[in-house]
Amino acid sequence: MKKFVLAIVLLFCFLFFMGNSPRAVHAESTVTIGTGGVTGVFYQAGGAIARIVNKKRHEYGIRCVVESTDGSVYNIDAVISGILDFGLAQGDRQHQAAFGGAEWEGRGPQRDLRSMFSLYAEACTLVAAVDSGINTIADMRGKRVNLGHPGSGHRQNSIDALNAAGIDYKKDIIAKELKPLEASRLLKAGGIDAFFYTVGHPTGAIIDATSGKKKVKIIPMPVIAKKLVNDVHPYYVKTKIPIKYYRNAANDADIETFGVKATLVTSVKASNMLAYAIAKEIFENMRQFKSLHVAFQGLDKTKMLENMSARIHPGAMRYYKEAGLK
């Protein structure tokens, strides 16, 4: 009996000391962030969020991990179904999901989707081989063009741009659905004439595409941008791709095009504590966040609460109110 009591006392002592050791304050739970391809900027953005939030992982009891995924459309569906906790998504795809349009047509508004914040601008980038003879989007008829893979956000931007030019992607071009890096490789090898990619700049796949032996050009789309911004969709904005990032491209000036904002989304399933922690750590460590990629340099806290169509997660909203941002 004495031995039994002693064992119990020792067990309690052990649990007490374990409980007071800093590492055991919380059992860490893993929080997943869906991004895009590893050469894109979504991947960098997810990595930057994880890096900053994980500094406080003992305090919050969470550890963020980044997953490479197909992109916006996949991420939105994955956070809603609970496969991912957070995901990067183009603001235009967030809008369509929230209102049940485009990829979500027939499935209705995605009411469980929640927004966290907006980040940097992504520009719809049309890259073409100079020897394809493509100088404007109107020259794309009959060409082999990569629109983007299913699950990506840019696939629908490509279709919107072609539609605005009066080109039916099902009939007027030879459409491909490859990932950006595969598209870049194939462009350099002469297997396709052009590819679309909506992405922050500078980015690996475009550097890769413009750095081969084959002369490659980024095609300006000023007329399409005007049309899309004025007549068609509320979420497109005019933007420019700085040519300084792609010195080997056969362009001599910044490229006019249209774009969207990259955003972070989650769902009603995320706890208030979790959404609060992520919003707070990113907003309060903004200087460090901005230093992690050139595309993040222009971030502005007030603008980061714009371009969101899904309801802001209440946990994140609690932080924005505390910080006087809402």
Q: Please give the size of the binding site for ligand GLU, defined by CB under 6 A.
A: 15
Q: Is 132 in the site for ligand GLU (CB under 6 A)?
A: no
Q: Is 96 in the site for ligand GLU (CB under 6 A)?
A: no
- Start-to-end Cα distance in the chain: 63
Listed as own residue / partner, the contacts of 296-299 with beta carbons closer than 8 Å and 24 or more positions apart are 296/45, 296/48, 296/119, 296/120, 298/120, 299/119, 299/120
> Of 153 and 315, which CB lies nearer to ligand GLU in the complex structure?
153
> Of 200 and 220, which CB lies nearer to ligand GLU in the complex structure?
200
Candidates 74, 100, 109; CA nearest to 265 is 74
Read out DSSP for 172-197?
Answer: TSEEE---HHHHHHHHHTTS-SEEEE
Q: Taking a C-beta distance cutoff of 8 angstroms, is the pair 240, 255 a contact?
A: yes
Strand partners, 261: 121
Contacts of 223 (CB under 8 A, 6+ apart): 136
> Of 37 and 220, which CB lies nearer to ligand GLU in the complex structure?
37
Q: Is 125 in the site for ligand GLU (CB under 6 A)?
A: no
* Shortest reach from residue 158's CB to ligand GLU, in Å: 11
Q: Is 72 in the site for ligand GLU (CB under 6 A)?
A: yes
* Shortest reach from residue 12's CB to ligand GLU, in Å: 51
Q: Is 90 in the site for ligand GLU (CB under 6 A)?
A: yes
Restricting to residues 201-230, which ones interact with ligand GLU according to CB under 6 A?
Answer: none
* Shortest reach from residue 272's CB to ligand GLU, in Å: 27
In the complex, which residues of this chain contact ligand GLU (CB under 6 A)? Answer: 36-37, 40-42, 71-72, 90, 122, 152-154, 198-200
